[in-house]
Each structure stands twice: as C-alpha cells, then as structure tokens.
Chain A
Amino acid sequence: MEFEIKSKNKFSLGLKELWEYRELFYFFTWRDIKVKYKQTFLGILWAVFQPMIMTILFTLGFGKLISDSSVLNIPYPVFALSGFMLWNVFSSGLTNAGNSMVNNASIIKKIYFPRLIVPISSILVSLIDFMMAFIVFVPVLYYYHCSFKLSAFLFVPLSLLLCSIATFGLGTFLAAVNIKYRDFRYILPFFIQALLFLTPVIYPLNKVSNKFFAFVLQFNPMNAPIEFFRFGITGESLNYYSIFYSILCSSILLIAGIIYFRKTESYFADLA
C-alpha cells in the first residue's frame, strides 16, 4: 500500500478513505451514545421523553387554538409529536455536529482519520434517538386512531434521509467554522431556538398568513422532511413548491457544507 503525504490542492470527497475507516463511524457513534446516557437513571428513555414532554406542553398550551383555526387532518398531539421527533434529530444533530470538532480536539490533534467521521457520527446518534422515539410514536398513533398509510414505507425513510441531509450540510459547515471561530458555539443554541418557530413543527405551514413570511418559510430545509413524514400518516396532498424549495435549499447547504469542511479540515489540528 503506497501513498503520498503532501499539501492538498485538489478537491475530493474522500469517499474511498471514509470507507476504509468505516469502523470508526460505529465506534464514535457507540461512544457518544454510551457517554450520553451514562449515569442517567432513565438512560435512553430520555430520547423518548424530550419530544413527548414538548408535545404535551404545546398540546395543552396551543393545541386547541391551532386545531380550531386550521385544517389539520390529524389530531394535534400526533401532529406536534411527529414534528418534534424530526426537529430533535435536527436540533440535537446540529448542536452535536457543530461542536463535534471542538469537543474531539484532543483526538484530532493527535491522530489522523477522515475528519468527516466526527460530525457524521454525531448525527447518527440523533438518528438512533429518533428510532427510540419512534417506538413510542406508533402506540400514540394507534391511541389517536391514526395509522401509517402504505406510502409511509417510502416517505418515512425519505423524510429521515432529507432530515439527515439538512442536518449534515449545516452541521459540517458549523463544525468547520466553529473550530476557527468559537463564536458559533454561542450563536448555535440561539439560532436553533429561533429556527424552531420558523419551522412547521408546532403549527402547519398554511397557517401562516403573511405572504412574504410564508414564502421565506418554504426555504427552511426542515420543511420537506416534516411534510413528508406527516404525509405518510395523512396521505393528504403535498405542497410541491415548498417541498422543492426546501430540498433545493438543503442540497445547496449540503454541498456548501462539505466543500467548506473538506477545504479547511487540513488545518483543524492547528486550530483546535
């Protein structure tokens, strides 16, 4: 096995290398999950409680208000829980991916491996949390006399894929930029909190009356995954325009994020 070590000038995704190091994905994800729930009484159940508690709060607070004034084909708790489950993937994935390079600085400085593994693994952790929450979601559906349509077998995985893309694009960008400008560590929580209210998690998109605002909201990369997921339950028609804009936006973010990350990663060890 012969190779060269030299300064990098050509851009590549480095997929071959990622494949060579594939076991590290497993180990990083496994470590993060282990560490996350070590010394907690409820352990991984927290992955279930977080979206549940938010759903209960919003159902008690706004549930009636929202379902009275708009056309929801599903009961509000189902609506909100499905939104929060996906939102959790995005928000926790983004937070962890964004801080992942800084948090693993001690490893990055001492050993080489494809750096992309770190933010990807943080997102995998969030996806596993989603799986746990999903197990509880099914009985909730049943309780509210809802069920997955046959199309859900296509749309739920698709929605997860889109959600991962949205998280991954923004997450890798933040991971790279955070290592250089630690300011982003402080911007991130605020940004995520604000974004929650610009995403159709707790209210449906058609509820927004301001035309301009509604147009801008369509570009939210989390729109499409949430819409797809709910489509798997309701089977009602999708707003193709908003889905298109949302996917377009997350694709651009994905490409930009990966390019920025790959271009700057050589110097992570010096900056970390």
Chain B
Amino acid sequence: MINHELNHYLSLRDTIVNAFKPKSSKEVFYALKDVSFDVMQGDSIGIIGKNGAGKSTLLKILSKITPPSEGKIISRGRIASLLEVGTGFHPELSGRENVFMNGSILGMRRAEILKNFDAIVDFSGVEKFIDTPLKHYSSGMQLRLAFAVAAFLENEILIIDEVLAVGDAEFQKKCLGKMKDVTSNGRTILFVSHNMAAVKALCSKGIFMANGQVTANGHIEEVVNEYLSLGHSTSAYAPEVIKADVDIAIKKIEVLNELGTSCSHFTCDDLINIKFDFEIRSINQPYSLFVIIKDKYGVPVFSAEQFIKQNSLVLKINKMFLTRGSYHIHCFVHIPKIKQFDIAEDVCYFDIVDVSSPFIIHGEYDYGNVFGNYQWD
C-alpha cells in the first residue's frame, strides 16, 4: 500500500543532477499489500509479527500519518494513536504545561484535559513536581506523566504501538490495567507488540503479519501460537569475515531448539541450546570460551565458561530457568588473563514467553530474569 522510493534524503543538488540523468527504473517496494480485515466495536486486537513485517506501517496508515498508495480504511469513531508516549513533550515547559500540550496533540479537547487534569496528575504520581520544567524530571517521571495523559484519552478507537515496553514493572501493570478498563468500556484497541504475554493479557483477537500481508487472523491464542511456531528466524551469528590473524576465531553461533533447528522463540518449558563453532588455527593452547547471557536491558543474567577442546561447543540452558523476555549473547574466546582472541558482542537475540509458570496470572509483573532455585518450609 505504500511505496518507499529509494532516495529518502534529497538535496537540491541531487534533484538538479538527477534532472540531467537518464531516467532509471525505480524499485517499488510495497510495505503492505492486500491487507484486509474487519475490526468490530469493543474488539481488542493484537497485531504481531517480526520486525519489518509491516506492523508499524499499518499503524501509520491507520493513524493517518502516511496515506496509503492504494486502498482505503473506513472508520467510525475518533481514532487516537499512541505510536509513542509523550509526543510533543518539550523540556522547557513545566509538567502541567506539557500535559496540556501533549493531551491536545493527542486529540483531547481543552475541556477534557481540564476535567481529567487532577486524575492525570494523580495517576502519574508526580504531583510534587508538576510545575517544574520537564528537563529536570528523571526519564522515568517523564514516562509516567506521558502515560498518564495517554491513559485518559477518551477516543473510541485506540491505536497503541509497543509503548508498554518501557517503564518500571509496577507502572506497566498499572497501565495495562487501565487499558483493560478501556476495552471493557466498549472501546476498540489495536495493539502492536513483541511482548506475547502483554498481547495475550490485553487482546482477545490477533492478527499475525509477515512480509506485508496478514498471515493469520483470529483468536489471540491461536494467532500467538502460530507466530511462535513460525518463529524460526535466524537468530544465528555468522560473521561475513571470520577474524583473521588470530589463533582462534568464532565462526558461528546458533540458538537451537531441542530438535537442533535454529530458533529464536522459546517458551519457558523449552530446552535452549546455543552452539558455538570455532576456527582453530593453532592447536594445543588452553583456549576458553566465556559466554554472558544478557537480558533486554543488556544486563548480564549469568555467565558460563568452558575450555575449547574441539571445533564446537554447545551450551545447554535448562528448562524453567530463564523467565520470559528477550535475551542475547555476549561472548569471547580467550586465554584467561593472557589474551583475548575474538569477541561477539550482543548477538543472537532470542525471546522466551511464559506459558506455564505460576506467575503468569499476575499479568505483566516483572518477576525477574530467572526462576529461583528454592524451597518453602
């Protein structure tokens, strides 16, 4: 529906120069093609798919930010889009002023903002600093204030992009609760997220997008399962140029499921195998592989180290160890305290969803990165 021409950043010089060049055939790329679906009043629809599937483009078209090149959308009701929280926040303005500015940009009437002002401030929990310029706020406070404004939108249709991915856990929970209220009021929600748990908690229906098309459309459970089963994306790391001039280099890192196929989506009940391949050029040295598993914030969850005896090593992560979330790998090959040979930083992203732990009843609550190893007496 939308064609992105190749050259986005134009300068006058380019245009003038191009005018004298023979016309070259342009590559036309449709970010969305033949997308068609119905949304009923009161529906809450989760839109899921990999990066580049066209989710954000769909949201942009639904929010009227970019017009479709072809096709149309028929809508009944005021649409509010939250592609970002705190749109229009200005650091020089006070919290109070920003509430008005942001609310107004999101489409609230001045009277609506005035009516809800106390509730917004109360929800954000920044009463004390409401007349302080925003630039003195911590980023968390800014976020709370932004969320609070968004939470009081009274539009019939809400379009929400992955905005819940930020903020502290307690506040996330509060927002999710608030949004659930929204759907129970007969309003319609379109929610894009990579967080399957959040999608499941909030939405009753789902749309799975891939390559600019709707692959699945239906009940949220089925759609999420389909997404997860198709999630064999390449979460592998294979440098185009293997590091030369070193005695040992990392050739490949792959995240595999129990069956040995490459996979990037797991549930907590899955065994996760991470396979490391090396190119050893000088044998008989005490090489060692150091692996750090990091969470979505880049915080190390745990580390593992092992001597390298063969060309490959497999790290097996047990079931029910990592909790839901996105993880990735940081690793290097070294001889401890002597020399580092090769390093792979922040590679092999993989996601884990929680489908079976006793904690899922608590919704979005962040219960840590690992399931504890403990007993009650």
Instruction: Say yes or no: is A70 at the interface (Cβ < 8 Å to chain B).
Output: no
Q: Contact check, B64 vs A5: say whether CB atoms are below 8 A apart.
A: yes
The stretch among A105-113, A147-155, A209-217 that forms the contact with chain B is: A105-113
Q: Contact check, A110 vs B67: say whether CB atoms are below 8 A apart.
A: no
Q: Look across to chain A and name the residue whose beta carbon is closest to the beta carbon of B74.
A: A4
Complex Cα gap A270–B10 (Å): 12
Min CB–CB distance B120 → chain A (angstroms): 16
Chain A residues, Cβ within 8 Å of B74: 2-4
Q: Contact check, B67 vs A1: say whether CB atoms are below 8 A apart.
A: no
Instruction: Say yes or no: is B25 at the interface (Cβ < 8 Å to chain A).
Output: no
Q: Contact check, B8 vs A271: say whether CB atoms are below 8 A apart.
A: yes
Complex Cα gap A8–B109 (Å): 27
Complex Cα gap A41–B200 (Å): 53
Chain A residues, Cβ within 8 Å of B66: 266-267, 269-270
Min CB–CB distance A25 → chain B (angstroms): 10
Q: Look across to chain A and name the residue whose beta carbon is closest to the beta carbon of B1.
A: A7
Q: Contact check, A35 vs B93: say whether CB atoms are below 8 A apart.
A: yes
Chain A residues, Cβ within 8 Å of B167: none
Q: Contact check, B4 vs A270: say whether CB atoms are below 8 A apart.
A: yes
Given known pairs A1-B76, A7-B67, A266-B67, the reply for A23 and B104 (CB within 8 Å) is yes
Instruction: Say yes or no: is B162 at the interface (Cβ < 8 Å to chain A).
Output: no
Chain B residues, Cβ within 8 Å of A39: 92
Q: Contact check, B104 vs A182: say whether CB atoms are below 8 A apart.
A: no
Instruction: Say yes or no: is B248 at the interface (Cβ < 8 Å to chain A).
Output: no
Instruction: Say yes or no: is B77 at the interface (Cβ < 8 Å to chain A).
Output: yes
Min CB–CB distance B55 → chain A (angstroms): 15
Q: Contact check, B67 vs A5: say whether CB atoms are below 8 A apart.
A: yes
Instruction: Say yes or no: is A236 at the interface (Cβ < 8 Å to chain B).
Output: no
A3 interface neighbour in B67, B71, B75, B106, Cβ under 8 Å: B75
Complex Cα gap A237–B64 (Å): 52
Q: Contact check, B87 vs A5: say whether CB atoms are below 8 A apart.
A: no
Q: Contact check, A5 vs B90: say whether CB atoms are below 8 A apart.
A: no
Q: Contact check, B11 vs A182: say whether CB atoms are below 8 A apart.
A: yes
Q: Contact check, A2 vs B92: say whether CB atoms are below 8 A apart.
A: no
Instruction: Say yes or no: is B27 at the interface (Cβ < 8 Å to chain A).
Output: no
Complex Cα gap A1–B156 (Å): 10
Interface string of A1-39 (1 = CB under 8 A from B): 111111110000000000000011011000100110011
Q: Contact check, B81 vs A112: say whether CB atoms are below 8 A apart.
A: yes
Q: Contact check, A6 vs B72: say whether CB atoms are below 8 A apart.
A: yes
Q: Contact check, A181 vs B72: say whether CB atoms are below 8 A apart.
A: no
Total A-B pairs in contact (CB under 8 Å)? 100
A6 interface neighbour in B8, B73, B78, B83, Cβ under 8 Å: B73
Interface string of B33-71 (1 = CB under 8 A from A): 000000000000000000000000000111111111111
Q: Contact check, A8 vs B67: say whether CB atoms are below 8 A apart.
A: yes
Q: Contact check, B87 vs A110: say whether CB atoms are below 8 A apart.
A: yes
Instruction: Say yes or no: is A263 at the interface (Cβ < 8 Å to chain B).
Output: no
B78-92 interface with A by 8 A CB criterion: 78, 81, 83-84, 87-88, 90, 92
Q: Contact check, A111 vs B11: say whether CB atoms are below 8 A apart.
A: no
Q: Contact check, B72 vs A110: say whether CB atoms are below 8 A apart.
A: no
Instruction: Say yes or no: is B350 at the interface (Cβ < 8 Å to chain A).
Output: no
Given known pairs A31-B101, A109-B65, A111-B81, the reply for A5 and B60 (CB within 8 Å) is no
Instruction: Say yes or no: is B269 at the interface (Cβ < 8 Å to chain A).
Output: no
Instruction: Say yes or no: is A68 at the interface (Cβ < 8 Å to chain B).
Output: no
A106 interface neighbour in B68, B87, B92, B93, Cβ under 8 Å: B87
A130-157 interface with B by 8 A CB criterion: none
Complex Cα gap A39–B92 (Å): 9
Complex Cα gap A24–B83 (Å): 19
Q: Contact check, A35 vs B92: say whether CB atoms are below 8 A apart.
A: yes
Complex Cα gap A50–B151 (Å): 44
Q: Contact check, A111 vs B73: say whether CB atoms are below 8 A apart.
A: no
8 chain-A/chain-B pairs, Cβ below 8 angstroms: A6-B72, A24-B105, A34-B92, A106-B87, A107-B105, A181-B11, A181-B15, A269-B65
| B interface with A by C-beta (< 8 Å) | 4, 8, 10-13, 15, 60-78, 81, 83-84, 87-88, 90, 92-93, 97, 100-101, 104-107, 109-110, 133
- Give the top 4 A-B pairs by smallest Cβ distance, nearest first: A6-B72, A112-B64, A5-B73, A27-B104
User: What would 9 more interface pairs be, CB under 8 Å, given A110-B81, A110-B83?
Assistant: A2-B74, A2-B75, A5-B72, A6-B68, A23-B109, A23-B110, A111-B87, A112-B65, A270-B8
